[in-house]
């Protein structure tokens, strides 16, 4: 197996250094390309390639995809729910092995909810998959929670890696200490349509750990959302009911935007490069920005961005009373400005999301050319 690689991303000198450590041959092909050759033995070359690219991109050592699959237990304590769209090789080679490696002696179950176009088939055997509605993230989270048997849910995006051998213990400690939900990553929203307001927290699922009865008590994720602000909605749902959300110091690598680049701007073999962690975060972020800037347009209207705006408007209106208690005016001003932005394009908010769903499904059923 021979892989060519652009020197713009990683220089040949660094590649040769990583190659020497693993007895791999790295050669310059052109001024802007180098190549690395892996042995032909199928049972070793994938693991060797993962080790090479981890060294190249300064990542921790990889986790073996041949780790014992203790995913289904009769009395699981934690249900690890992974929503899988187009990032199948990465989930198989990176996320699942990292969870299994770091689950320790805690009984867990793995629940893979597939809502993409690529049928996993037997590639995740012996772990089964559950089919959910195309692209609908909130719906997929709820489907996974509904299939769980454990009292604790750990909800994962399909573009992260767990590097923490105590991730379960840390999250359980915080739940036992009074937290209702624990997030490995929080983000902040403080501006909408150029209107600034007090920051709103967004608990990201990398992972989001919550007791199943708490998840059910707030009704799970709001399935109005297709993809965009379901995490903000769920965070506010918990806060409105007086639930306590806390962050924890989990060692997690979140390759934000990885799944979206595969869904909208794929290059042949890009999913395999992600599975090898062959690209640094900076390259993935650059690809993600290209995707967000292009959007999905029809008649000059970017329905991708508008769909996100409509979902955000829905959240601001849904939690209007709760947000007005935090600030009487600025959240309302932001919602009004966002609605004006949407309607200024002669579009009704109610029709935008459905139009985007239609375009999104059509886009992803077309052959994807190399870019």
**CB-count burial class (<10 Å; 0-12, 13-18, 19+) for 4:** exposed
Predicted pLDDT at 61: 93
CA–CA dist 302, 113 (Å, integer): 29
Q: What is the pLDDT of residue 367?
A: 43
Tell me: the pLDDT tens digits for 111-136?
Answer: 999 998 778 888 888 888 999 998 89
Token code pair at residue 40: 């032909």
Measure CA 123 to chain center. 20
The model's pLDDT over 76-88, given as tens digits with 9 standing for 90+, comes to 999 999 999 989 9
Question: Which pLDDT does position 43 carry in this prediction?
Answer: 63
| Structure-token pair, residue 336 | 């009004």
Residues 246, 174 contacting (CB under 8 angstroms) = yes
| Lookup: tokens for 302 | 């970017």
Residues 6+ apart with CB under 8 A from 240: 319, 322
SS3 43: helix
Residue 283: what pLDDT?
Answer: 86
Residue 149's CB: how many other CB atoms inside 10 A? 13
Q: Which residues of the chain have pLDDT under 50?
A: 69-70, 366-371
What is the per-residue pLDDT for 104?
78
The answer to whether 1-58 and 78-254 have equal CATH topology is no
What pLDDT sits at residue 67? 57
- Fold for domain 1-58? Ribosomal Protein S8; Chain: A, domain 1 (3.30.1370)
SS (H, E, C) 186-210: EEEEEEECCEEEEEEEEEEEEEEEE
Nearest in space to 267 (alpha carbons), one of 279, 256, 255: 279
- Looking at residue 59, the DSSP 8-state letter turns out to be P
Please state, as a whole number, how many other Cβ atoms lie within 10 Å of the Cβ of residue 188.
10
The domain locations on the chain are 1-58, 78-254, 284-363
Q: Which CATH number fits domain 78-254: 3.40.50.300, 3.40.50.1400, 3.90.550.10, 3.30.70.20?
A: 3.90.550.10
277 close to 53: Cβ distance less than 8 angstroms: yes
Pairing of strands 33-37, 25-30: antiparallel
């Amino acid at each position: 197996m021979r892989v060519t690689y652009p020197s713009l991303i990683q220089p040949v000198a660094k590649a040769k250094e990583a190659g020497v450590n693993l007895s791999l041959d790295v050669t310059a092909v052109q001024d802007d390309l180098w190549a690395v050759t892996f042995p032909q033995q199928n049972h070793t070359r994938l693991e060797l390639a993962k080790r090479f690219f981890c060294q190249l991109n300064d990542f921790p050592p990889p986790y073996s995809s041949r780790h014992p699959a203790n995913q289904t237990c009769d009395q699981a304590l934690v249900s690890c729910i992974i929503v899988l769209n187009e990032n199948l090789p990465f989930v198989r080679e990176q996320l699942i092995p990292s969870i299994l490696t770091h689950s320790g002696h805690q009984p867990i179950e793995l629940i893979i909810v597939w809502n993409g176009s690529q049928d996993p088939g037997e590639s995740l055997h012996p772990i089964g998959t559950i089919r959910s509605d195309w692209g609908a993230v909130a719906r997929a989270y709820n489907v996974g929670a509904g299939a769980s048997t454990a009292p604790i849910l750990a909800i994962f995006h399909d573009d992260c890696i767990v590097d923490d051998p105590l991730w379960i213990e840390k999250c359980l400690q915080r739940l036992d200490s009074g937290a209702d939900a624990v997030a490995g990553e929080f983000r902040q929203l403080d501006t909408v349509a150029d209107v600034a307001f007090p920051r709103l927290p967004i608990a990201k699922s990398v992972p989001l750990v919550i007791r199943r009865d708490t998840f059910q008590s707030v009704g799970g994720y709001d399935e109005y959302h297709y993809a965009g602000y379901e995490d903000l909605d769920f965070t506010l749902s918990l806060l409105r009911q007086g639930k306590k959300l806390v962050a924890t110091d989990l060692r997690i690598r979140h390759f934000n935007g990885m799944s979206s680049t595969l869904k909208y701007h794929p290059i042949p073999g890009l999913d395999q490069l992600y599975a090898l962690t062959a690209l640094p975060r900076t390259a993935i972020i650059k690809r993600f920005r290209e995707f967000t800037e292009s959007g999905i347009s029809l008649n000059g209207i970017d329905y991708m961005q508008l769909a996100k705006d409509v979902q955000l408007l829905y959240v601001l209106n849904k939690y209007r009373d709760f947000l007005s208690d935090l600030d009487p005016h600025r959240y309302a001003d932001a919602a009004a400005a966002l609605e004006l932005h949407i309607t200024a394009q002669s579009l009704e908010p109610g029709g935008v999301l459905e139009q985007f769903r239609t375009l999104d499904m059509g886009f992803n059923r077309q052959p994807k050319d190399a870019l």
